[in-house]
């Protein structure tokens, strides 16, 4: 990022002097970043308001509270110097594992449905999903691991060591099992390895081994099914989702129902949509999980293709600004943090929208800054705070 203009003459225009003064007084401000965040969050709130109206199980005021809490945490993290965290690899690993495994504690964890033990309940407080919060610690873990290699990781033993450490959270999340969140962890790890300078040969070998491992899981599970009568490695609902992805018309009133209703909602929106609060798929109860997993369908039905393009433009603006912040980082730790945050959002955006249109398997991955929920919203604001911290402390260092 370019440096601020130097004021060397008393004849400098008053506007430039005032701008420089404001920047020195509030060095943490990044106006384009803040404006895009405000527009994106506000847009998401409008869609959520339409989605929850008339549904007693959801509260728009609670979503506002989530945004308020997230904003406070974002500011606190933004003002914190992220560089102080670069050497806490072990702590990030321990915290990540503790968060992910906490739903297994008797009396604390709750069943999220279909056998996934992903949530915890603390008395009268709303239930939260620790695996979502662990996305932050996973990002910090991966960034701290890769920062040790200074942008060059070409030793096979060191690569396997780093990869092994970064895969521990994925192994833990699969004990719930939560494949959707696990895929996010894997994508974050992939981004960290690429940005952190891992040798391309190692990355290709890892990808090939991963593909073989997936095939092996399905093959072994079939053998287990033939001998015991049930699948052990993958849950039946996970297999059903993959089956629906491969054969969308296999069971339109059963396993394919969610996908069909999502596609109907998106297709019926047309160019400009039916109008806010005028959608029928979610108001008639035909679209399941409209406030969370399928919130994009509500947007597409009510605001149409134009509304979808507005959302994508806001996402693109946020990503481009984050790229500039990553490019301005003077240390690898900060760069990996920013790029892993961007990678996390991009994967969730592509997966959430992709599953709605049938291009990706259906998972429970929320749409960033739009889907209803406290855990995901607060997590995204904390991530914004870390990205803002990278920008602020690198700008100060350049002076």
Give the contacts of 274 (CB within 8 A, at least 6 positions apart).
Answer: 268, 280, 301, 302, 304
Ordered mean pLDDT values, 10 residues apiece, the chain (399 residues): 40 40 55 94 94 84 93 94 91 93 82 67 75 93 94 92 95 86 94 94 94 87 78 71 68 69 86 87 80 90 94 96 92 95 96 87 87 89 95 71
User: What pLDDT does residue 333 have?
Assistant: 95
Q: What backbone phi and psi angles, to 5 degrees, belong to 153?
A: -125, 90
Left if phi > 0, otherwise alpha if psi is -120 to 50, otherwise beta: which for 3? beta
- DSSP secondary structure of 290-325: TTTTTHHHHHHHHHHHHHHHHHHHHHHHHHHHHHHH
- Show me where the domains of the chain are located: 61-398
User: What pLDDT does residue 363 have?
Assistant: 80
- The alpha-helical segments, DSSP class H, found in 28-155 are 31-52, 60-79, 89-101, 130-147
User: What pLDDT does residue 397 have?
Assistant: 58
User: What pLDDT does residue 6 have?
Assistant: 42
Structure tokens given for 243: 């089956």
Residues 280 and 25: their CA atoms lie apart, in Å, by 50
Distance of CA 313 to the CA centre of its chain: 18
Q: What backbone phi and psi angles, to 5 degrees, belong to 208?
A: -65, -45
């Amino acid at each position: 990022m370019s440096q601020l203009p130097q004021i060397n003459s008393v004849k400098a225009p008053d506007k430039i002097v005032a701008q420089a003064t404001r920047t020195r007084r509030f060095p943490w401000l990044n106006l384009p970043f803040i404006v895009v965040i405000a527009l994106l969050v506000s847009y998401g709130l409008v869609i959520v308001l339409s989605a929850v109206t008339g549904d007693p199980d959801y509260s728009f005021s609670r979503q506002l509270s989530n945004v308020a809490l997230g904003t406070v945490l974002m500011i606190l993290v933004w003002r914190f110097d992220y560089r102080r965290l670069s050497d806490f690899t072990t702590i990030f690993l321990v915290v990540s594992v503790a968060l992910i495994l906490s739903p297994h504690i008797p009396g604390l964890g709750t069943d999220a449905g279909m056998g996934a033990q992903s949530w915890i309940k603390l008395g009268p407080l709303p239930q939260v999903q620790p695996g979502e919060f662990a996305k932050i610690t996973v990002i910090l873990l991966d960034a701290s691991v890769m920062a040790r290699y200074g942008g060059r990781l070409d030793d096979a033993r060191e690569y396997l060591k780093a990869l092994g450490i970064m895969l521990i959270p994925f192994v833990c999340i699969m004990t719930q099992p939560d494949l959707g969140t696990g895929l996010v962890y894997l994508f974050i790890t992939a981004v960290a390895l690429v940005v952190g300078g891992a040798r391309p040969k190692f990355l290709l070998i890892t990808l090939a081994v991963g593909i073989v491992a997936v095939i092996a899981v399905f093959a072994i599970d079939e053998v287990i099914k033939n001998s015991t009568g049930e699948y052990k490695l993958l849950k039946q609902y996970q297999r059903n989702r993959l089956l629906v992805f491969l054969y969308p018309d296999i069971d339109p009133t059963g396993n394919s129902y969610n996908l069909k209703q999502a596609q109907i909602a998106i297709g019926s929106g047309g160019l400009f949509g039916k109008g806010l609060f005028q959608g029928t798929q979610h108001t008639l109860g035909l679209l399941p999980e409209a406030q969370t997993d399928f919130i994009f369908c509500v947007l597409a039905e009510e605001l149409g293709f134009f509304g979808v393009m507005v959302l994508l433009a806001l996402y693109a603006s946020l990503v481009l600004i984050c790229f500039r912040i990553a490019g301005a980082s003077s240390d690898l730790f900060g760069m990996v943090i920013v790029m892993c945050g961007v990678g996390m959002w991009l994967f969730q955006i592509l997966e959430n929208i992709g599953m709605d249109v049938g291009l990706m398997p259906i998972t429970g991955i929320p749409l960033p800054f739009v889907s209803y929920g406290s855990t995901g919203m607060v997590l995204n604001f904390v991530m914004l705070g870390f990205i803002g911290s990278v920008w602020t402390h690198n700008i100060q260092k350049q002076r």
